[in-house]
Amino acid sequence: MSASPIVPSSGWSTVRLVAGRELTTRMRSRAYVVTTLVMLVAVVVGGVVLHLAQGSSSAKVVGLTPQTTSLTQPLEAAAKAADDDVEVKPVPDDAAAKAGVEDGSLDAALTGDPTSFTVVVKKDLDSTSAAVLTSLRQQTALANAIQKLGGDPSAVSQQLSDVQLDVAPLQPQAQRDGAQIVAGYVAGILLFITLQTCAQLVAQGVVEEKSSRVVELLLATVRPWQLMAGKVLGIGVVGLVQVGVVVLGGAGTAAALGLVKASDIDLGATALWALVWFVVGFLMYSLALAALAALVSRQEDIGSVTAPVVMLMIVPYVIGISIAPWNPDSPIVVWLSYLPFCAPLVMPIRIALGTVETWQAIVSVLISLALLPALVWLAGRIYSNAVLRTGARVKLKDALRAA
């Protein structure tokens, strides 16, 4: 015979082949490309919208006439003290100031004498600005009084600005702002969607091989564990690429538009943890779903056979995104964030909210990973015993027992 000698292969080269097939066929599927793009567009557009919303509500433009232009520095100082974003814009005269306020290019204008200026607004002055401008008037009045008494107004204002309130909180609360809550939501939703889709892809792939009977052809040359491992790894990489693209897109948009201040949230760490949790979660859910899906022979039956594990994803997800952003230290959220099968959907939200120390996140990952060998063994056993039994649904009990 002319056949060249067949190289005996190691188990893992077969796994690589199986994974490679999953990778190329999935990556080329239109559904995958479309969902990835839709999610990418969603996070980028979401970021831009957030940026525009912040942009229009923040910096208030205040017009200063040549007379009141001396108020620039104290106004900015007062605004800063009140955490209000004010932008000063010089205008040639009172009439121009009024016209600017009228056409909306100015939010307010200060006219008249610096010590007794008038605030020109379209209709009403918002409370923050009112407080800022009132304090500005008080400061100028104080400066005048100090000057009349022969003192140095700038020295006084220096002393005043050095005054600081010492606050000793008995129950320190981590500071959370909008950006953290948004990041928490994005992490929670993204992980839920991608873990669900990817684990379901594994289940569908298992049943596809069973229903098309190709599994018999494959298992004549491949061991069941190699087929299952290749499928899980291949689809895992496919999912990781998807999560990576979306996370990079989201983090990149946030960084480029300055949506988050570096002090509030560590964007890089949050993104990295999201990827870590995707890997951990994917391994657990997809192994469980691969084993359960091997029990049935028709795509229609996947839903009912995988329902218990899908519920195991939905419950922590719902608790995670409905409670964690508002109360990240609630005991149920904390417990779930350490529990295997729940942690991948809860811990990333807590990490994004900045309420966990790194060591706590690592402990949680280790707890989940510790369960993995048992899960691999169990899933492999169920899969091997059930995958060639086509027809009626195989009972879990039988799949566990039969050798």
Partner 1 sequence: MPTLEIDHLDKAYGPVRALRDMTFDVPSGEIFGFVGSNGAGKTTTMRIALGVLAPDSGQVRWDGRPVDLEVRRRIGYMPEERGLYPRMRVDEQLVYLARLHGKTPAEAKDAMERWTEILGVAHRRTDEVQKLSLGNQQRVQLAAALVHDPEILVLDEPFSGLDPVAVDVMSGVLRERAEAGVPVLFSSHQLDLVERLCDRVGIIKDGQMVAEGAIEELRSEGRLQWSVDGAPASAWAPSLSAGSGLRVVSSEGPRTVVELDGVSAAARTSTADDAAQAVLRAALAAGPVRSFTPVRHSLVELYRDVVSTPTEEPAA
Cβ at position 213, least distance to partner 1 in Å: 3
- The residues of the shown chain that bind partner 1, judged by CB under 8 A, are 1-4, 6-9, 14, 17-18, 21, 24-25, 208-209, 212-223, 388, 390
* DSSP reduced 3-state for 293: helix
Q: Are 232 and 289 in contact (CB under 8 A)?
A: no
In the complex, the smallest distance separating the C-beta of residue 212 from partner 1, rounded to whole angstroms, is 5
Nearer to partner 1, 26 or 350 (CB): 26
111, β-bridge pairs: 118
User: Phi then psi for 72, rounded to 5 degrees?
Assistant: -50, -55
Is the CB of 86 or the CB of 296 nearer to partner 1? 296
| Nearest to partner 1 of 131, 218 (CB atom) | 218
Tokens (6 digits) for 265: 């949230």
What tokens does 210 get?
Answer: 């069973």
| Tokens found for residue 319 | 């608790």
Q: Do 345 and 274 meet the contact criterion of CB atoms below 8 Å apart? A: no
Choice between 17 and 255, CB closer to partner 1: 17
Q: Tell me the pairing of strands 108-111 and 60-64.
A: parallel
- By C-beta, is 107 or 209 nearer to partner 1? 209
Nearer to partner 1, 16 or 350 (CB): 16
Question: What are the beta bridge partners of residue 62?
Answer: 88, 108
Least distance to partner 1, CB of residue 321, Å: 35
Least distance (Å) between residue 381 CB and partner 1: 15
Question: Cβ of residue 199: shortest distance to partner 1, in angstroms?
Answer: 20
HSE, side-chain direction, 13 A CA sphere, residue 259: 26
Q: Least CB distance from residue 289 to partner 1, whole Å?
A: 20
For residue 91, give the DSSP letter. -
Q: Closest Cα to residue 344, out of 281, 286, 287, 282?
A: 281
- Min dist CB 245 to partner 1, Å, is 24
Those residues whose C-beta lies under 8 Å from the C-beta of residue 272, and which sit 6 or more positions away, are none
* Residue number, 235 or 251, with CB nearest to partner 1: 235
Backbone angles phi, psi at 166, to 5 degrees: -90, 120
